[in-house]
Chains A and B, each alone.
Chain A
Amino acid sequence: MLELFADLVLMPLIAFLFGLVLVLMARRVRAKIERRVGPPVLQPIYDIVKLYAKKTQISHGLMHDVSIMMLLGGFITAEIFLPVPGLDGLAAEGDLVTLVYIMMVPMLGLALGVGSCANPNGSIGISRALTSMLAYDVPFVVVIAGALIHYGSSNLIDVVRIQQEGGVSTWGVTTMPLLAFAGLIAMHGMLGKEPFELYIAPAEIATGPMVEMSGKYMGALFVMQCFQFYTVGVLYVTMFLGGGEMWLTFLPKVAAVIFISVAITNVFGRYKTEDVIRWMWRWPTAIGLVGLAFVMLKVN
Chain B
Amino acid sequence: MHGYGRTTASLLFLAGLVVMLYALFQALPFGAAPMQVGQEIVSRAPGETGAANIVTAILLGYRGFDTLGEVTILFVAATAAGLILSGAGAGDLPKAPGGFILKAAADLLFPFLVVLGAYIILHGHLTPGGGFQGGAIMAAAFFIPLLASPTSPLNHSTAALVEGFAGTAFIVIGLASLMWGEAFLTPFLGKGTLGDLFSAGSLPLLYLAIGLKVGSELAGLMARIVEVGGKS
Direct contact of A and B (CB under 8 A): no
Which A residues lie at the B interface, using CB under 8 A? none
